Amino acid sequence: MKAMKKWLYATLVLCAAGAADAGGEKVKVRLAFPPGDYLMTTVSQSQGSTEADGEKSPSKDDSREVWRVQVPEPNDQDEKKVLIRLVEARTEGLESGQQYRFDSTRQGQQTSGMEFAYAPLMKAEVLVTLDADDTVVEVSGLDKLWTDLDTKAHTPMQQGLLAEMRIAKSDKGFESNFRRLEALMPKAAVAVGDAWKAGVRMDLPLVGELKVRYDCKLVALEPGSQGDVAVIEANSTYSLSKPKTIETQGVAVTLRNIEMAEKARVKVDVQTGIFVSDESTRNVSVQGIATQADQQQEVSNQNSSHTTTTLTPTGAQPPRDSAVQAAPRAGADTGRPSGRAQSQEAATPAAAQATDQTGDSTQGLPVQGEADNGDRPALTAPPPAASSRPSSAQPPAAPGLLVMRRQAEPRQNAFSVLVPQGWLIEGGLFSVDPTQAGGALNAIETKCDFSVKRDTAGTVMVRWAPSYNFVDWSRAAEFASLAQLFPPGRTYNGALVKPMPTVEQYLMEGFKLVRPKATDVRVIERIDLPMVADLCAKLSQGVNAQMAQLGKPPMTFTAGALVIEYTEGGNRYREAALTALGDWRAAAGIWSNQFTFHMRAPAAQETQWKPVLDIVRQSLKFNPQWVAAYVRAAGERGQAAAALFRSLERIDQEIFAHRSAMQERISEDNYLLLTGQEKYVNPYTREVEQDSSDYRFRWTTPGGDRLYSQQDGFDPNRDAQLNQLEWKLTPVEQR
């Protein structure tokens, strides 16, 4: 029965796959896949329970998959043969009382048996045929994979896993993902606020025919890199119209009913037709009959899930159609395996955990080892540590190789940062709903909570934290009556009433909220940052001038940083936290935090991680199209916001310029935030870029990816894992 429960759960996986006023200008929103190279990333969390024979079994799953999508130019029949490969897979959870885990980026992180299905899936090629208007014609490559494994599935776990894959990763299942997105697109031009209905039927293997109904609405047009991005919200219902009966491990299972309610939010680039993101929440109920040895029993499953899928161009040139159809995967029949096969089958013991560019087990760290590809440094993993926690893995020392990919903020494409290959990004821009917050004090400006993390636990990470307004009546007698009605702890006009703390108090309060399980906490360094306070004051000159005309005192600022050492989860960490506090209590009874930023790493490894974190921190770059659209939408307020955005990009330079002038002494061993700098000339834009000086060689691509190396003679253009993009050295600016 465990395999049958696994199959039921797989049914849920398959089902799960797959603000402005009305009026205004109508736009045509269509789904398209322009020729190019893309990464499609899906992150999913689900939990539920299966009931069979009166016994309930809980289940949960957290997974992340990265697929490389290569869209060629159309062939002679005006079709595109899209090649899709799974380049990274991580999944862990609980099913039928058993925990499971698979992580393609880390050897030794698999539950026994999981690699039975995932290892061949990582080598498979999925071919999607699109017709002239980019609608899907057929999908192939997956069903044959599972058929070939039929005779090799001997254990109950292998058989159950194979049954799950036949549903969740079938040709029809993959096709249904495309069909769903196609169905959500409006048939005619629509304006913000317009609504439409759609429906589709899906014939899925081992499940049957599903009838789906969509109620859709264009809720907003947001600025994107190529122009407007259409935001479509959809409420969907799925029902089983023609069930099928299947047999697995001697059990015949017939689904009697499937009910699923889905709320989706899909973003599509109006100019290109590329779907930018697809976020959905689903609640599923499944009932079925299981028959074994002429005995029947009812089985059911309840499940809820949240899934986010993004499609990001890599900047590589699109493949020619003939190459997509005919060329074997690199390393096939050449006598020398390449990519993942090389790292798993032909690696030396010193490089036993090395993988290819798309599945780097070192998660983007600079690494050291003997050359395994010409003059290229081997992508070797750090030596094993006593603990299995990710933070315990020792970061390798130079000389090494660090590959950074420029990734956009996922929600509005407002800015981008350089992210070490294999790391995670979380969060982004968001707005506060004044009707939910109880007022507009924190709903005026768009906010940002954005993190770059080495792993889900954030053992090494940076975070840009949001700014909030708070209320403090203590500096103005005119607010005395309000102070009686709204004492500390209450909310006034959407802002928490709270006495203004010192910078250190604010940072420590925030630390305790974010790190509630931290023990043995010690502040090892306190740093005043008058240069940041001066920068904030410059940005407020216009507002302060207006307030002076009204006889009101100006807004003033204090800024500083703390370096905190603590223990969390058995590991010792060191974290730097910075903020500026704006004091407008005398004029408006308000104070706020600005430029709040955090960085952390294991304490014993701080100096090794610091160059990586510095590069991430210094790489923030705002999208000028987004800024322009924001300014247009916000009017005069937007002009001030634009100045703020520009200051975010140059705050590093301001800090270092003032640091030199003021001869501040910052401990390099204790302070992660500040580091050595150098100025480089971008060979594509000719712009001068300020960046870390910790690496001897710095390469970049037209799309802004970077590679850092310590080795003489290494050229990424001659590396089979890296030469999909053009790389050029960035020389140091001559002075």
pLDDT band for position 370 (cuts 50, 70, 90): very low
Q: CA–CA separation, 633 vs 123, rounded Å?
A: 47
Q: Average pLDDT for residues 362-374, to the nearest whole number? A: 30
Q: CA–CA separation, 479 vs 476, rounded Å?
A: 6
Half-sphere exposure of 29 (CA within 13 A, CB side): 31
Q: What is the pLDDT of residue 260?
A: 77
Structure tokens at 387: 């603990």
What is the full DSSP assignment across 137-175?
A: EEEESSHHHHHHHGGG--SHHHHHHHHHHHHHTSHHHHH
Q: Average pLDDT for residues 636-663, to the nearest whole number? A: 46
Q: Which domains does the chain have, with CATH numbers?
A: 2-326 (2.30.230), 402-675 (no CATH)
* pLDDT tens sequence across 669-704: 333 333 356 778 888 888 888 777 777 888 898 888
* Residue 663 predicted with pLDDT over 50: no
Query: Tokens 């223990």 — which residue?
Result: 567
Q: What is the pLDDT of residue 625?
A: 81
Q: CA–CA separation, 513 vs 497, rounded Å?
A: 18
Q: Average pLDDT for residues 140-149, to the nearest whole number? A: 84
Q: Among 67-81, 147-161, 582-596, 678-692, where is mean pLDDT lowest?
A: 147-161
pLDDT band for position 507 (cuts 50, 70, 90): very high
* pLDDT tens sequence across 88-125: 888 888 776 677 788 887 765 565 567 778 888 888 88
pLDDT band for position 441 (cuts 50, 70, 90): confident
* pLDDT tens sequence across 14-36: 333 333 334 457 889 999 999 98
Q: Highest-confidence range of 180-189, 192-201, 306-315, by mean pLDDT?
A: 180-189
Q: What is the pLDDT of residue 384?
A: 27
Strand runs labelled E in 270-400: 275-292, 295-313
pLDDT band for position 512 (cuts 50, 70, 90): very high
* pLDDT tens sequence across 228-256: 889 999 988 777 666 666 665 556 667 66
Q: What is the pLDDT of residue 658?
A: 41
661 by Cβ neighbours in 10 Å (0-12 / 13-18 / 19+) ranks as exposed
* Residue 38 predicted with pLDDT over 80: yes
* Residue 182 predicted with pLDDT over 80: yes
Q: Which amino acid is at 204?
A: L
pLDDT band for position 293 (cuts 50, 70, 90): low
pLDDT band for position 501 (cuts 50, 70, 90): very high
Q: Average pLDDT for residues 63-76, to the nearest whole number? A: 90
Instruction: Note whether 570 and 454 are within 8 A (CB).
Output: no
Mean pLDDT of the chain: 74
Q: What is the pLDDT of residue 449?
A: 93
Q: CA–CA separation, 99 vs 48, rounded Å?
A: 14
Percent of the chain exceeding pLDDT 90 equals 21
What distance, in Å, lies between the first and last C-alpha atoms of the chain? Answer: 73
* Residue 484 predicted with pLDDT over 50: yes
pLDDT band for position 336 (cuts 50, 70, 90): very low
